Each structure stands twice: as C-alpha cells, then as structure tokens.
C-alpha cells in the first residue's frame, strides 16, 4: 500500500517528545492512513488545542473522521469545521500496543475534552489495608525492638502513638 502524507509532511508540531506531521485543516485530509496516532486540533489564532487523540491501524475511507463517533464533540468544541485540524504521528513498524502507549501518554498529559471516556484510570501506587488486629484497651502491644510493653502516649483522630517502656521506640497504630 502506498503511503500518502505529502500534504502534511511540510509542517510539524511537537506533542510531548513526539513530532507529529501537520497540522493541516481536517477537510484537506485524504486517505490512505496506516499505523498512526492522530490528533484532532482546534485552531484559535496561532494556538492549537488538542480536542481528541486516536490511533488508526489502516483506512482508505475518505469519511473516516466525519463518521467518527466523536465528530460532534469536535465540532461543538471548535465552533467551525474550518477550525478543525489534523496532525499524525506515523508509526509504520509499530505494534498496536506501542500506539496505545503513545496514545495513553498524550491522554494523560493533555486530557483532551473529546476523549473523556477513553481516559486511563489512574491507579494509586499504594494499597490501604484494614488491619484485622484492632487494638483493644486490654491488649498488650510489645516493642519490636526490645520486647517490652508499649504504652499509648497520644491518641489522635485516626491513630494512636505508642511508646516503648523499655527502649523508648515509638510506633503508630490505626484506631479501630
């Protein structure tokens, strides 16, 4: 398949560490398009806003963008069809996973308004576990350092500070 990117190869735009070809008015786009990550941009004077980021394995369909389920969102956020622009990042030798990785980096950084449903869910890098060992007032807590008894020193809203009677080591336990 012959790759045709001549219309957009004269311009480029830097998004994160990636150099996209374009932007060109969306109405000037013509197929084919193969293994790319693409941006739909809205032009406001000399500034481009990222409205949408997507990827494409392969298309020869001239109506590829107009038939996109997000086209209405693009129009609502750009005001005019003439304001819509396209930029592409050709990744000819890339896997689908590689394109998704680039797409997710752009989604996470730019949070395009027309990609709200596609935003990767941010997962915390920690896990909060409830302790099965809740501390009762009669329960004795032993120091991990010297084995002596630890006495409550200060009760806070959600935790209690304990101090060792032997070595002075302190520890904090969540309140039940």
Q: Return the CATH fold of 12-118.
A: GIY-YIG endonuclease (3.40.1440)
Instruction: Name the residue ranges covered by the structural domains of the chain.
Output: 12-118, 141-174
Residue 133 reports pLDDT greater than 80: no
Confidence of residue 175 (pLDDT cuts 50, 70, 90): confident
Q: What is the value of pTM for the model shown? A: 0.64
Helices (H) and strands (E) in the chain, counts: 2, 9
- List of residues 6+ apart from 50 with CB closer than 8 A: 15, 39, 40, 41, 106, 110, 112
């Amino acid at each position: 398949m012959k790759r045709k990117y001549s219309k957009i190869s004269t311009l480029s735009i830097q998004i994160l560490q990636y150099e996209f070809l374009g932007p060109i008015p969306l109405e000037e786009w013509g197929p084919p398009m193969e293994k790319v990550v693409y941006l739909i941009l809205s032009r406001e004077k000399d500034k481009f806003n990222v409205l949408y980021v997507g990827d494409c394995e392969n298309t020869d369909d001239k109506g590829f963008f107009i038939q996109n389920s997000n086209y209405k969102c693009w129009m609502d956020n750009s005001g005019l069809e003439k304001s819509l622009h396209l930029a592409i990042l050709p990744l000819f030798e890339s896997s689908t996973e590689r394109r998704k990785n680039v797409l997710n980096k752009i989604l996470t950084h730019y949070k395009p308004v027309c990609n709200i449903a596609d935003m990767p869910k941010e997962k915390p890098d920690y896990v909060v576990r409830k302790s099965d060992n809740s501390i009762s007032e009669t329960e004795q807590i032993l120091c991990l350092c010297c084995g002596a008894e630890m006495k409550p020193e200060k009760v806070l809203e959600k935790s209690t500070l304990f101090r060792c009677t032997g070595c002075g080591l302190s520890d904090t336990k969540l309140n039940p």
